[in-house]
């Protein structure tokens, strides 16, 4: 039923406010959804503010003034102890000011979306060590590490803002990373995989083995990076793409790398696609087209899937479990070993983009020659 028309002097009152006059004094009261009345006092300004807040809280079709005041109230509350949804919104603004690769930004977005769904309605100071620990314990070791780093930084941000006093994420334990299960490639096994692979995958295997670049860098290599007269291949590695001063590697191509590059340059599709690694898909949808750098280009995931398919068909690693079988990415480690032995450690490190020996040694792990220990009575 529509409310009765207000008197002229009361038409500026919010909905659901009644006026009661006693002994010449006006008293204001609020009508609740169940019909009960609650006094708002005799101060009109205070009564109006209280009624607007009630209308917003009870979602009783607040008018424009109520909406404006509601935003002010929300902002005021956020300046005290905000919900985690508000915290994440502000934290994302901070991340936008930093330089990250597009893939990293997408990872951050997905991780923050996880926190939003799980804790978005909690106030910042209601997040506990138990909340964080339960979340982390549900993840794999590598995912645990990434989420813990992000959550510690998020809690540091909340501490800086004065919304919490303790960094609860920092109180969780570090992950215990299981020993890597995946085994290394042998050159003999890799060549058997290459032998049964289609031509486009053969070119990818050769380029990966002799250039020792990562999947992302291989997928982005274009013809203009090649200078045949100078015998060079210039690579901008993905990991340094967003540095203030990106690092370009100008590679003096060794003979095997030159052969791999030339094979890409003279393939039937070489002039139809600017990327060195290319193939003609069996089907092409708009969705696939938009997901790729070029409709004939290869993606990182495609390289991994296709290699895994022909690796299994070759049967060279059937004695290993699926999680132990080396992947396309592991070709890089074999390539580093071969180039180190044939050319030099310095050349292999420069080609791989390793600034120090630590990462170079990491890639050589598993390729060490197993020599017998000599034992003598002397």
Q: What is the DSSP string of 40-63?
A: EES-HHHHHHHHHHHHHHTTS---
Helix, strand or coil, per DSSP, at residue 268: coil
For residue 152, the model assigns a pLDDT of 96
Neighbours of 174 (CB within 10 A): 8
Q: Helices 331-342 and 357-364: crossing angle, nearest 10°?
A: 110
Token match 């132990």: residue?
324
Q: Is the dihedral of CA 63, 64, 66, 67 positive or negative?
A: positive
Task: In whole angstroms, give the CA distance from residue 42 to residue 174.
Answer: 59
Structural domains present in the chain: 8-78 (3.30.160.60), 84-171 (1.10.150), 187-364 (1.10.443.10)
Close Cβ partners of 229 (under 8 Å, ≥ 6 residues apart): none
Helix, strand or coil, per DSSP, at residue 25: strand
Is the pTM here over 0.75, yes or no?
no
Task: In whole angstroms, give the CA distance from residue 42 to residue 56.
Answer: 22
Maximal C-alpha separation, the chain: 118
Helix, strand or coil, per DSSP, at residue 15: coil
Token match 């609740």: residue?
32
Task: In whole angstroms, give the CA distance from residue 363 to residue 335.
Answer: 10
Q: Helices 129-137 and 102-119: crossing angle, nearest 10°?
A: 120
* Lookup: tokens for 62: 């607040």
Residue numbers in the chain where pLDDT is lower than 70: 1-12, 60-79, 178-181, 238-247, 287-289, 291, 354-378
Residue among 125, 39, 113, 122 nearest 80 (CA): 125
For residue 378, the model assigns a pLDDT of 36
* Lookup: tokens for 291: 């997901």
Residue among 127, 115, 137, 181 nearest 323 (CA): 181
Angle at CA 111, nearest 5°, toward 109 and 115?
A: 110
For residue 156, the model assigns a pLDDT of 95
Task: In whole angstroms, give the CA distance from residue 40 to residue 30.
Answer: 7
Angle at CA 197, nearest 5°, toward 316 and 181?
A: 40
User: How far lies 299's CA from each of 126, 169, 278, in Å?
Assistant: 43, 36, 9
User: Buried (b) or exposed (e) across 326-341, using 16+ Cβ within 10 A?
Assistant: bebebbbbbbbbbbbe
Counting Cβ atoms within 10 Å, is residue 204 exposed (0-12), middle (13-18) or buried (19+)? buried
Close Cβ partners of 191 (under 8 Å, ≥ 6 residues apart): none
Task: In whole angstroms, give the CA distance from residue 129 to residue 59.
Answer: 34
């Amino acid at each position: 039923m529509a409310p009765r028309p207000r008197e002229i002097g009361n038409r500026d009152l919010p909905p659901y406010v009644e006026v009661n006059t006693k002994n010449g004094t006006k008293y204001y009261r609020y009508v609740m959804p169940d019909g009960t009345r609650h006094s708002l006092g005799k101060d009109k300004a205070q009564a109006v503010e209280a009624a607007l807040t009630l209308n917003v809280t009870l979602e009783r079709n607040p008018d424009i003034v109520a909406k404006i005041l509601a935003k002010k109230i929300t902002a005021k509350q956020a300046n005290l102890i905000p919900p985690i949804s508000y915290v994440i919104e502000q934290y994302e603004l901070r991340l936008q000011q930093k330089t990250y690769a597009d893939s990293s930004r997408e990872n951050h977005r997905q991780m923050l979306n996880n926190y939003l769904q799980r804790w978005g309605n909690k106030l910042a100071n209601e997040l506990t060590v138990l909340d964080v620990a339960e979340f982390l314990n549900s993840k794999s070791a590598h995912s645990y590490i990434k989420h813990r780093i992000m959550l510690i930084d998020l809690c540091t941000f909340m501490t800086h803002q004065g919304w919490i006093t303790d960094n609860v994420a920092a109180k969780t334990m570090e992950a215990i990373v299981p020993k890597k299960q995946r085994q290394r490639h042998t050159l003999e096994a890799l060549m058997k995989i290459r032998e049964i692979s289609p031509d486009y995958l053969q070119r990818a295997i050769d380029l990966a083995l002799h250039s020792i670049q990562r999947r992302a860098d291989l997928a982005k290599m274009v013809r203009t990076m090649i200078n045949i007269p100078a015998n060079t291949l210039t690579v901008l590695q993905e990991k340094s793409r967003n540095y203030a001063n990106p690092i370009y590697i100008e590679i003096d191509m060794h003979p095997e790398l030159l052969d791999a590059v030339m094979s890409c340059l003279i393939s039937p599709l070489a002039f139809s696609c600017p990327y060195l690694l290319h193939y003609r898909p069996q089907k092409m949808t708009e969705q696939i087209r938009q997901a790729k750098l070029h409709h004939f280009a290869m993606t990182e995931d495609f390289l991994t899937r296709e290699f895994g398919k022909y690796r299994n068909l070759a049967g060279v690693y059937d004695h290993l479990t699926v999680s132990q079988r080396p992947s396309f990415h592991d070709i890089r480690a074999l390539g580093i070993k071969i180039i180190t032995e044939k050319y030099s450690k310095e050349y292999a490190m420069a080609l791989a983009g390793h600034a120090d020996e630590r990462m170079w040694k990491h890639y050589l792990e598993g390729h060490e020659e197993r020599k017998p220990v000599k034992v003598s009575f002397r």
